[in-house]
A and B are shown apart, each in its own frame.
Chain A
Amino acid sequence: MSTKDTIVAKATADAMAAIGIIRISGQNALSLAKEIFTSKEIKGDIEARRMYLGQVSTKNFKDKAFCVYYKAPHSYTGEDVIEFQAHGGKTLLDGIFRELVSKGARPAEPGEFTKRAYLNGKVDLASAEGICDMISADSEAEIMQAYRLMQGELSKTITASIEKLTEAVAGLEASLDYPEELEEDTRPESLLLIKEVKKDLEKTYASSKNRRYITDGINISLCGLTNVGKSSLMNAILNDDRAIVTDVAGTTRDVLKETFMIDGIKVNLVDTAGIRESSDNIEQIGIKKAKEAIKGADVILFVMDTSIEETDEEKALYNTLDKQKTIRVANKGDILKFPRNADILIEAETGKNIEKLMDLILEKINVKNITSKGTLTRERHIFAIQKAIEFLDNAIAVYDKTTIDCILIDLKGALRRLADITGEDVDESIVDKVFSKFCVGK
């Protein structure tokens, strides 16, 4: 890639829409604009950050359009940027796009505008990652998450932790480098700060579980004996006839997986083969997969056929499940002959109480936590935070038992891990802090 190129891209999707945007970035953005755009409002130079109404001319057509010029470095990419707001529609936008390319602009690669913004120091790495996540997001929660990352919420949280930890470290460092000049005992205050940081990080780390919910979705497994109506329930949830439903026990021989949304959160619903001892080879494979699916589930819907009596097999199967994750669903509730201890009564065939079941699922995974405070989306962030917490644990464990030089090995280890996320230079900021906070030095 050369940053000297001037790139062009359609900023809006190829859909029928009232307006469409074409964006140009690079050294020649302004001169390209002047070549194809004319306006009576332009007196002399095109002023930055002013919207001009005028005319775009291409080989084949002319059309009314707006033009805005963002002068480097005060633009999204940090380069000269031109935005045309023209009428929407693929043909029209493609025409302008091709005209610009014929005049020397290069079609941008996917993400190239953001990449340039990053290269020119307009966004930090976490933000750039956030922007990419947002573009490729497929659920609202995912977009929110990516948006937060882009807004630097992760950076903000981590920066706050770095700031506190730096202060704790600086207090201890000052006592080592200025044993005679530093009159105050900095150990107790530093410990308080360290504990605060640990708590904050643990909270952020906990949200990494939610993070998985957001990017990968929640995994829900349907579980139960054969022919209790699992597939019907799946169909009811999906409002679709995807899964094969028959009255012959053991029809669902494989694991069916569907993805859908509840309140903007991605849900992966897995219908497992009914669990029973089977001699059928294919079905055995299905059962094996089903057991795996249950293992990886965040929520298990244990479906019971309440039209028949509770069997020992059913009890035994239920006992193998993680009770924390399991919702007991009584199906075929129209036949209440053999009532069970159930969390909810539904009718898979008619879809009765399916909405209530959805609410129950959201309750189970504590969905409020997901949408309010989930900020960790990248593995490298999670890993760094996990490591930082380990270091802090070590430091706290020996805080009163060992010498400060040792404690600082762990504290600085934690600090460096956090700095990896934001790319800060922690060593210098420790020194800065020592001198801004303490009156030391001769």
Chain B
Amino acid sequence: MKTDVKKYDCIVIGAGHAGCEAAYALSKLGKKTLLLSLSLEAVAFMACNPNIGGTSKGHLVCEIDALGGIMGLVADEATIQTRMLNLSNGPAVHSLRAQVDKNLYHRKMKLEMERTSNIDILEGEAKEILVEKVCKKEGSDTIGKVVGVVTDMGAIYEAKTVIISTGVYLQAKIITGENVRCTGPAGFKRSEGLTQNLLDLDLDIRRFKTGTPMRVLKSSIDIEKMEPQYGDLDMPTFSMLTKDEVRNDAVCYLTYTNLDTHKLIIDNLSRAPMYNGEICGTGARYCPSIEDKVMRFKDKKRHQIFVEPEGADTDEVYIQGLSTSLPYDIQEKMIKTVKGLENAKITRYGYAIEYDCINPLELLPSLEIKKYEGLFAAGQINGTSGYEEAAAQGLIAGLNASRKIDNLEPYIPTRSTSYIGVLIDDLVTKGTNEPYRMMTSRAEHRMALRQDNADFRLLEKGRELGLVDDARYEIFKERKREVQEIFEALKKRYKIAEVEKVFNEADASLPKNSISGEEVLRRSQLNLSHLIKIDPEFNKYNIKNLKYVETEIKYKGYLEKQAQAIKEASRLEALKLPQDIDYMKVDNLRIEARQKLNKVKPLTLAQAARISGVTPADITVLMLHFRKRQAENNAKKD
């Protein structure tokens, strides 16, 4: 009966933000890919907030784009409002954030998946991942090798690699007060049985929790009582391929909870699943429910609420800040306490969602699961939260699945070149006890990892890896050329008479004889707009390139400091650790350190140093140990 078993290079289980990005990377690398989704209506579904980007997440999207990924492009197409956060807080943290039309995003991404060659998109549920046992080698964690997937239809698909990107769908449970439903987000079917399969594969499975607020009809709220928030002008885009300006006409509104809201919550706390024991999953501090906020910050008299459109062709709006799992009747009362929302008509109630995920310490930095060759995991299944974090992992998992098939070394993004590197290193080195959210503060080389230089950091690498096509590469080459030209142009010197007026206006002291464009930009009171006033010739350059150069010049001192720190850190990064070592046998290491090192099996000494519970003294011991070991090996060779 099952004679015509279909064969794939890779099967991606789940077509969410991680799955789509993984499939897209695989297709670019010429790998035949099956993209499975429980429902094709749920492809790239934005189950929670209607935005993409924001602090550190905007960075991730720019990086995905520089590596030839798809998220930025689709996000640009579906954008209805765009802003740059943190403009006053420094170039490292300038963060693009877009309000995105959710439905449009889903449709565009689905279409991309449908029409990309090499991708077969299929509605179906993966029931079992097929593995073959392999002989366990000394010191190695590998016990098997992935060979295929069985679906709920009973169909068997053979594959050289499999990527698990099931998001929050594994044994998902949705909780609104006393009401508990066994479904995925927004009523989509949940995944049954795959968890048991993963447990049978001896993987460490945990239960996490997240939540979402209610949606209401915009027509039922009083926008006059709230503060409107409009998009910013002259915004860059996530993707370098986006030629036109994005749509930017949607409006968000700001309002606040008040003491009445808080009293209502406190009075009904016994009916909150988080507080009455109904929920056992570990929630993230990053997206606290309103009941959490009220309980944890008792002296705060109000909490912000942002009202954001769910899309351009729907009247539904998202009530950011009121994430809750309180019962429906309390939600009805709660929303009516908020200024502007007194008559709000709820269309969907807020809920908490619990789901199964893998302990990321099961993963190699390539996102391959240590125990099974060819089996990868990406996205929320790895204990992260957020669309962008998921997509970033999807890209890397797809890339490395392809490289596995081609017998190539995996690509491990580093902490000093990308947020993607920080994200993955944090996950596989430290693990996480709650849904992990990317934050700029997690990047120790933040000043070097800006949105505006994502292409300079990653695009050449992406090209080398086969992810960056000619279209992107040509654009990048032109940008590089123009940036070079601007640096040259900045050497031009201006006489006092040429700069006097602009300098006086800006209250800047005049130069002795003449001043170069670069020196103008270096002055703290002066910026790009002053330079353009002095020399309108600069108007001919792309503003994005001009701003990039301005940042490079203005922050040169700090950039050099950061470069120095990266150089120092790279010494430990360069010290590779063997993978076939039993740390329990390393003398002089504290016992706790031995256990942690055995669990993580770090690739480099730098990664070892980042494991919590491994102290600087342990690292010194390790360094001495390996130096001795190397000397002994060398002696043997002689």
- The residues of A with any CB-CB pair to B shorter than 8 Å are 1-3, 115, 118-121, 124-125, 173, 175-181, 183, 401-406, 408-409, 412-413, 420, 423, 425, 427-428, 430-431, 434-435, 439, 441-442
Contact = CB atoms under 8 A, between A and B. Distances in A.
Interface in B275-301: 284-288, 293, 296-297, 300
Contacts of A403: 88-91
Given A431-B439, A435-B285, 13 more contacts: A1-B587, A118-B590, A125-B615, A176-B55, A176-B89, A178-B55, A403-B88, A405-B93, A405-B446, A428-B612, A434-B441, A439-B288, A442-B287
B304 interface: yes
A65 B186 CA distance: 75
A415 to B, nearest CB: 11
Interface string B457-477: 000000000000000000000
Contacts of A119: 588-591
B446 A420 contact: no
B319 to A, nearest CB: 11
A124 B293 CA distance: 37
B555 A423 contact: no
Contact of B323 (A120, A404, A442): A442
Nearest to B618: A423
B442 A423 contact: no
B613 to A, nearest CB: 8
Interface in B70-86: 85-86
Interface residues of B, number: 51
Contacts of B440: 173, 176-177
A179 B94 CA distance: 10
A366 B124 CA distance: 81
A405 B590 contact: no
12 contacts: A121-B592, A124-B615, A176-B89, A176-B93, A177-B439, A404-B89, A405-B446, A412-B444, A431-B441, A434-B441, A441-B284, A441-B287
A423 B288 CA distance: 31
B383 to A, nearest CB: 15
A68 to B, nearest CB: 24
B429 to A, nearest CB: 11
B321 A442 contact: yes
A369 B430 CA distance: 43
A401 B304 CA distance: 30
A175 B89 contact: yes
Contacts of A180: 85, 304, 306
A222 to B, nearest CB: 43
Contact of A2 (B90, B284, B587): B587
A63 B323 CA distance: 74
B562 interface: yes
B49 A442 contact: yes
B213 to A, nearest CB: 9
Contacts of A173: 439-441
B143 interface: no
7 tightest Cβ-Cβ pairs between the two chains A and B: A403-B90, A405-B90, A423-B615, A405-B92, A435-B285, A173-B441, A439-B297
A434 B615 CA distance: 23
Interface in B85-123: 85-86, 88-93, 95
A326 to B, nearest CB: 43
B166 to A, nearest CB: 23
B89, B91, B441, B558 interface centre (most CB from chain A within 10 Å): B441
Contacts of B321: 442
A418 to B, nearest CB: 12
A409 B55 contact: no
B417 interface: no
B561 interface: yes
B90 A1 contact: no
